[in-house]
Amino acid sequence: MSDLPEIPPAFAPAHPEQLLSDVASLPSLPGVYRYFDAQGTVLYVGKAINLKRRVSSYFQKNHGGTRIGHMVSKIARLETTVVRSEAEALLLENNLIKTLNPKYNILFRDDKSYPYLKISAACKPAVETTQTATRPSGEQFPRVSYYRGAVEKKHHYFGPYPSAWAVKEAILLMQKVFRLRTCEEPVFNNRTRPCLLYQIKRCSGPCVGHISAADYAQDVANAERFLHGEAREVMAALEARMMAHADKLEFEQAAELRNQVASLSNVLHQQSVDNVSDRDVDILAVKVQGGRACVNLAMVRGGRHLGDRPYFPVQVQDGTDLDVDDDGGAGGASVRSLESQVLDAFIAQHYLNVPVPPSLVVSAPVDKKLLQALTLQTGIKVSAVHQPREQRRVWLEMAQTNAGLQLARLLAEEGSQQARTRALSEALDLMLDSLDELRIECFDISHTAGEATQASCVVFHHHKMQNAEYRRYKITDITPGDDYAAMRQVLLRRYGKLAETLQEANRSGETPAGTGRMPDLVLVDGGKGQVAMAREVFEQLGLDLALIVGVEKGEGRRIGLEELVFADGRDKVYLGKDSAALMLVAQIRDEAHRFAITGMRAARAKVRMDGGKLEEIAGIGPKRRARLLQRFGGVRGVALASVDDIASVEGISHELAEEIYRALH
């Protein structure tokens, strides 16, 4: 036992012998370590140049009542991964942080992918038929569109953009200046006359042959050069073409190019920047206040400022006590500023799956080792400027202002939500150790005359709605329109297995890893009937009846007159029209209703419209589906077609047409 870390007497009993033995046997190599509690929940993920020295430091010092001490007291198990270098350790650390969501790390949760502007690839017809000779094909004329998802090499993508609005603004620009088409293939291939966009000079009308494939390709090339930041070069080329047409007395073509040059000049005037050498830059400003932080990311692509997007990390105070320089060890003296730690965490996590530009403009110093790791990962030399000048300084000041505004808005909203949470806790006399841990689950049933019945469960936790934990339940095997049976089914499905697990844990005295927890409050949208059904389910499962609260509509179903109905026999409670507690209950109830009704409408539309995707019909593959959609302009058109009309499509037999008709009706 002489090799084990020297543990202060006050802390020694808290840690298993196996854990201390694992710490003692760690190698003096770079790597990543992970701490787990007794339930198997990951507490913290960290990196180290020297695993043995770093991990041992957690157990050799008395951290007292600090957050580090609170975390260390919970550690029951340790896992490590040895890597070849500190750069590998840094990248692996942040991959694991995003994957495992550890409680004590600074964590940026962003499940939204970034949107792109997409210009489809042009394809020449393999064989020129009579049809392709008389009318153009959409494959010859690339389409500009909004895109989010995995990219294909054959198409051209520009971005990423900070928001959908920024992409749509760019598409509008492509229409105004270069008049590129935005219509989908079935629409393009079935046009017989130009659409409204052609009339208002937002499209050159390739669908009806108003522009040749060569001229359209020139417009596409100019648009791509403009998006790459070569706006001045594009304007010069357009002016040269305009003068060439004028010299040949081709004044109509020259006028078209003159209008294009004027539009582009107007755009450049509106979006002018002083330093056009910065083609692709990300500006990162961090603001910390009131225990919360905001990182504002502004994007410059092709020399144009595309807008910004705020990010709010969780566990800021927990993570900053632990994220320190490796030579100082945990709790060492070499601690960087809070803003720098937050910024490091954002850069490391954000650019794991998002392309990183070569230049970053930052409001706080960034770890040089982090930039080296990004350079190794991407193969692009990444640099960061902390105290910029000229145009970069203007961009950074704008990002800092926006970070402050976004953080002030968040703190105001959270203050209001916390007041509502406190008011509800006091009104219902909830016994809670911490208001932050109050968890409420709310259920609602939605259907139309019994059709497509759906139940929703929404979750309120940490003073806000937790969208990632929402669930929808498709209700089956009940009498259509029986809301009580639907409520019974969803509650049994939601809490049945959890109740069994908790009862088994009470008998054995051990809680299995990964076991969920019951909410502190279960809201059901309804009065005595729904509450009585919930009571039966909870009695059957052996759960606490005091958790159930029904939200009963007031007289005339007027908002603000709702009363709370309890399953454990307590009298009804009217909180008052202006009560902060009622506002929270109404917020959660309305969110459950919204989530249920959107799911029901989607299910109903699927049943009524197409019975599922066309591909789900036996005998319908991608080619036949494309022919059907092209002929009838969409699924709605297929559904409105007769059997004979469907059978007239190439590759569709009369028997298959009857099958399609039955599936869609």
Instruction: Tell me the C-alpha to C-alpha distance, in Å, between residue 129 and each of 205, 376, 461, 551, 628.
Output: 22, 51, 62, 67, 20
Structural domain includes residue 427: no
> What count of Cα atoms within 13 Å lies in the side-chain half-sphere of residue 438?
25
Q: What is the CATH number of the domain that holds 655?
A: 1.10.150.20
Average pLDDT value for residue range 109-128 = 70
Mean pLDDT computed over 88-110: 83
Percent of the chain whose pLDDT exceeds 90:
15
Query: CA 366 to CA 492: how far, in whole Å?
Result: 51
Indicate whether 261 and 212 sit together in one domain: yes
653, part of any domain: yes
Average pLDDT over residues 147-167: 81
For residues 589 and 553, membership in a common domain is answered with yes
**Residue 146 located in a structural domain:** yes
Query: Is 267's pLDDT higher than 60?
Result: no
pLDDT value for 315: 73
Q: Would you state the pLDDT for residue 313?
A: 86
- Give the pLDDT confidence score for residue 278 in this predicted structure: 63
Contact 32, 83 (CB under 8 A): yes
**Distance of CA 34 to CAs 44, 72, 170, 333, 556, Å?**
6, 12, 44, 23, 57
Quick: pLDDT tens for 450-497.
777 889 999 999 888 998 899 999 888 888 888 899 999 999 999 998
Average pLDDT over residues 124-133: 48
Q: What is the pLDDT of residue 10?
A: 43
| pLDDT tier for residue 140 given thresholds of 50, 70 and 90 | confident
Q: What is the mean pLDDT of residues 366-389?
A: 88
- For residue 320, give Cα distances in angstroms to 49, 107, 335: 19, 11, 9
pLDDT in the model for residue 227 = 80
The stretch 71-76 carries a mean pLDDT of 86
User: pLDDT higher for 413 or 485?
Assistant: 485
Same domain for 635 and 602:
no
Do 388 and 484 fall into the same domain? no
Inform me whether the pLDDT recorded for 6 exceeds 60. no
What mean pLDDT value characterizes the chain? 80
- In this structure, are 167 and 212 located in the same domain? yes
Q: Give domain status of residue 224, yes or no.
A: yes
* pLDDT at residue 557 is higher than 70: no
Q: Which residue has better confidence, 591 or 661?
A: 591
Judge whether 118 and 146 are in contact, CB under 8 Å.
yes
What is the predicted pLDDT for the residue at 131?
A: 45
Q: In this predicted structure, what is the pLDDT of residue 112?
A: 61
Residue 138, Cβ density class (10 Å: 0-12 exposed, 13-18 middle, ≥19 buried): buried
Compute the average pLDDT of residues 214-239: 80
CATH number at residue 523: 3.30.420.340
The upper half-sphere exposure of residue 328, i.e. CA atoms within 13 Å in the direction of its Cβ, equals 12
Domain count of the chain?
5
Asked which of 196-200, 323-327, 426-430 is least confident by mean pLDDT, the reply is 323-327
Q: Which amino acid is at 356?
A: V
Residue 419 lies in a domain: no
Q: What pLDDT was estimated at residue 125?
A: 53
Q: pLDDT tier at 167 (50, 70, 90 boundaries)?
A: confident
Residues 155 and 230 in one domain: yes
The 10s digit of each residue's pLDDT in 500-553 is 888 887 777 776 666 678 899 999 988 888 999 999 999 999 998 989 999 988
For residues 303-325, average pLDDT: 71
User: Is-contact 285 404, C-beta < 8 A?
Assistant: no
Chosen domain end from 364, 392, 408: 408
Domain-terminating residue out of 270, 293, 313: 270
Categorize the per-residue pLDDT at 580 as very low, low, confident or very high, splitting at 50, 70 and 90.
confident
Range of lowest pLDDT (45-54, 154-163, 293-302): 154-163
Please check whether residues 580 and 626 belong to one and the same domain: no
Rounded to an integer, what distance in angstroms lies between the CA atom of residue 66 and that of residue 47? 21
Round to the nearest angstrom and report the end-to-end CA distance of the chain: 76
Of the listed ranges 114-128, 183-197, 350-364, 478-492, the one predicted with least confidence: 114-128
The yes-or-no verdict on residue 254 having pLDDT over 70 is yes
366 and 313 belong to one structural domain:
yes
Asked whether residue 360 is domain-assigned, the answer is yes
pLDDT score, position 495: 93
Mean pLDDT along residues 137-159: 82
Q: Are residues 627 and 593 in the same domain?
A: no
Decide if pLDDT at 554 tops 80. Answer: no
Least confident piece of the model among 180-194, 256-270, 602-616: 602-616
Q: Is residue 529 part of a domain?
A: yes
Q: What is the pLDDT of residue 297?
A: 92
Burial of 381 by CB count in 10 Å (0-12 exposed, 13-18 middle, 19+ buried)? exposed
Specify the pLDDT at position 521. 92
Structure confidence at residue 330 (pLDDT): 45
Quote the pLDDT of residue 38. Answer: 83
CA 146, CA 168: separation in Å to the nearest integer? 7
**Residues 220, 204 share a domain:** yes
Q: For residues 429 and 422, give the distance between their C-alpha atoms in angstroms, rounded to a whole number.
A: 10
Is residue 333 over pLDDT 50? no
Q: Given pLDDT bands bounded at 50, 70 and 90, which one contains residue 332? A: very low
pLDDT greater than 70 at residue 350: yes
Within this chain, do residues 264 and 287 fall inside the same structural domain, yes or no?
no
Going by C-alpha positions, the residue among 499, 540, 493 that lies closest to residue 518 is 499
Q: How confident is the model at residue 130 (pLDDT cuts 50, 70, 90)?
A: very low
Q: Cβ(461)–Cβ(438) under 8 Å?
A: yes
Residue pLDDT, tens place only, 230-251: 766 777 777 777 777 777 777 7
The letter for the amino acid at 232 is R
pTM over 0.85: no
Based on the domain organization, do 574 and 463 belong to the same domain? yes
Residue 417 maps to a domain: no
pLDDT at 439 over 60: yes
Range of the domain at 206: 117-125+135-270
